[in-house]
Structure 1
């Protein structure tokens, strides 16, 4: 039988995820388990080679984050996660993840107005570690898709490093970059413009889950155009994007 008194418990968690969750476990067992889970997901993802997967069968998660601002390294925080599963080009609208996040700081008035997330709501929301674990449990080893991935990747990496001392290791695709390859003459590639160009119904902008749903539909339509250009695998798509 395992010794789960503090030293034994610490050694068990060290074997699961490393020193950081082991130390934290001395103070918060649940947080340590969440951190160990996040670290294990990142470790497993680094083993995956996905380039030969046909695009019509690749499992994806299209996601969006709402944040208090633009810089996670200057005090801005995630205030919501939204994600939807996609199989190839089929959007699984019933298979979603959504969570508010307590940013432990004041949400600026303009962000409250933009997102509809109030400071009162956010103050009662799950902590970052809990919401992040829920997001990664939903994602598992799937490829991530977002629009304008730089913003979301910076915030995810900051959250992963702060909570678990790991970096994002998932493959990431950007619908903006795919659209630039397919439509090099458009004047703008912001989400609103592309939703209009591809005839995607706008439901609710700046809501993480609704933005993820709309981006997923956009992805599906972009994928159809990519297949028409004989792009058949994930590796083929990355090759095309690397040239533009």
Structure 2
């Protein structure tokens, strides 16, 4: 178990790798969450986590993680229509602490250096808020936001929607508003962006972290 202490760190291996490590030699976990709404610091709760590994420039589809989460509250009809996640579907699902523990175990198994997401600040807030309810503080992990990477590779783009970005960069699109579907879509977008980033002469993990070192990531 990762949560025997009140302060925990995400089990990433970034502190074991020098910043000079080539990008193609490192692994990332790309993840997404679904929730009962946007007020995750107060009344809204986690209902799904989905993740997939990206190693080098490849999405490792066989290394996926997905779990529904019992939010201990009703899921509105609007959210069910959006996500296809019903109260019945989550009734027997693990509670948030158990689900996040399983997710952390998956991260450890992938030997990844960072977490990746599309507007990852929201997804990290979801995890931190759920753990805070258990009086557990999650220390700041290394994160990469695809929005930051797009801002570096193609600064003329000014939109937030994941599907529109995937279409613009010609990458695969999976089921929307599903945590595992959006994680897979984000993973293929990230792999393409990473290759474009590399082709521009950015070869190392340090280059990537510097280029995506937004204020949002620093605040997590």
Whether these two folds match at TM > 0.5 is yes
Alignment match, 2:155: 184
After TM superposition, give the deviation of residue 211 of structure 1 in Å. Answer: 0.9
1:198 paired to 2:169: yes
* The structure with more helix, counted as a fraction of residues: 1
> For residues 122-170 of structure 1, what are the alpha-carbon distances to aligned partners after superposition, in whole Å with 9 as ceiling and x for unaligned?
1221111111111000012521100001110111111233335121432
Q: CA 1:49/1:169 → structure 2, altered by over 3 Å: closer, same or farther?
A: farther
- Asked if the contact 1:78/1:103 (under 8 Å) is kept, the reply is yes
Distance in 1, Cα, partners of 2:26 & 2:12: 18
- Asked if the contact 1:41/1:136 (under 8 Å) is kept, the reply is no
After TM superposition, give the deviation of residue 240 of structure 1 in Å. Answer: 2.4
Alignment match, 1:132: 100
Alignment match, 2:178: 207
Distance in 2, Cα, partners of 1:40 & 1:166: 6
Q: Which one has the largest radius of gyration? A: 1
Distance in 2, Cα, partners of 1:38 & 1:172: 21
Q: Which runs of 5+ in 2 are unaligned?
A: 216-220
Q: CA 1:129/1:49 → structure 2, altered by over 3 Å: closer, same or farther?
A: same
RCO (CA 8 Å, sep 6+): is it higher in 1 or 2?
A: 2
Alignment match, 1:78: 46
Computed over aligned residues only, the root mean square deviation of the Cα atoms, in angstroms, reads 2.3
Q: CA 1:40/1:241 → structure 2, altered by over 3 Å: closer, same or farther?
A: closer
After TM superposition, give the deviation of residue 42 of structure 1 in Å. Answer: 3.9
> For residues 87-112 of structure 1, what are the alpha-carbon distances to aligned partners after superposition, in whole Å with 9 as ceiling and x for unaligned?
11111101111000000011121111
Alignment match, 1:107: 75
Map 1:109-124 → 2, pairs under 5 A: 109-124=77-92
Alignment match, 2:145: 174
SS at match of 1:73: coil
Provide TM-score, normalisation by structure 1.
Answer: 0.79
Q: 2:118 aligns with which of 147, 150, 154?
A: 147
Q: 1:69 aligns with which of 29, 37, 44?
A: 37
Q: Which runs of 5+ in 1 are unaligned?
A: 1-32
1:237 paired to 2:208: yes
Distance in 2, Cα, partners of 1:61 & 1:42: 12
Distance in 2, Cα, partners of 1:228 & 1:169: 30
Q: How many residues align?
A: 212
- Asked if the contact 1:34/1:129 (under 8 Å) is kept, the reply is no
